[in-house]
Amino acid sequence: MAQIHPTALVDCRAELADDVVIGPYTVVGPHVRIGAGTTVGAHCVLEGRTTIGRDNRIFPFVSLGLPSQDKKYAGEPCELIIGDRNTIREYSTYHIGTVQGGGVTRLGNDNWMMAYTHLAHDCIVGDHTIFANNAQLAGHVQVGDWAILGGFTVVHQFVRIGAHAMTAMCALLFADVPPFVMAQGQPARARSMNYEGLRRRGFSAARIGVVKAMHKALYREGLTLQQAQARIAALAEQHPEAAADVALMEAFLAGVDAQRGIVR
């Protein structure tokens, strides 16, 4: 049986794996499902159609699955889906999606979410990300795998942050951040690439060299975005060992909105 503190209020229709732990004064609603090995701290609220995977650690005062703060939301059966092995620290708030955005807010696997982080409706966050304290996403934001958001980073709605990207403390994002890019400022501008992060993840010197070449095409040669895309595409043939990295950048740039653009 799940270990439920006597002061917790868990709806009898909620689905809890046998070894789930629910702390004092926590409230769990009827449509919540929690996977094996997950622990939920004191004073949490888990509501809505919320699915939480295995081996997550949810700290006190976290709020998951409540209705979005979008005024268009009218009670539709939307969802929050959280994967496996995530750490979600105190006072974080993650809302369900809206029908206008696909109906799902999603957090992937192995993410490290520090205190006061916020995922608004319809956000999609990948795997292995780090959100420092008070990193805040507005609605419809997408964050790629291995991205790192510095403390107090604020992201405008519909902005995309590519895989392996990084933002500095207090960054304010109004435009997309391509993969590998380090962004800083208010509004944020591209400063460099996340080379140290790539080294820590086992990128070879040759692959990092291709990332440097992509940075040069995007930011150092005075090219238009279309010209930079052509220059980047050619790198895959020249450096087959980094073809996957080039493809990651190409796919991201192909989805850039003409009005929003990328950080410059």
Catalytic residues: 121-122, 139
Residue 179 and residue 135: Cα distance in Å, rounded? Answer: 18
Question: Which three-class secondary structure state does DSSP give residue 118?
Answer: strand
**Burial of 192 from C-beta contacts in 10 A (0-12 / 13-18 / 19+):** middle
Q: Is-contact 123 155, C-beta < 8 A?
A: no
CA dihedral 50, 51, 55, 59 (to 10 degrees): 0
Q: Is-contact 137 123, C-beta < 8 A?
A: yes
Pairing mode of beta strands 63-66, 45-46: parallel
Question: Which three-class secondary structure state does DSSP give residue 175?
Answer: coil
Tell me which residue of 126, 192, 119 sits closest to 153, measured CA to CA: 119
For residue 235, is it left (φ>0), alpha (ψ between -120 and 50) or beta? alpha
Q: Sign (positive/negative) of CA torsion 47, 50, 51, 55?
A: negative
Tell me which residue of 171, 185, 180, 88 sits closest to 137, measured CA to CA: 171
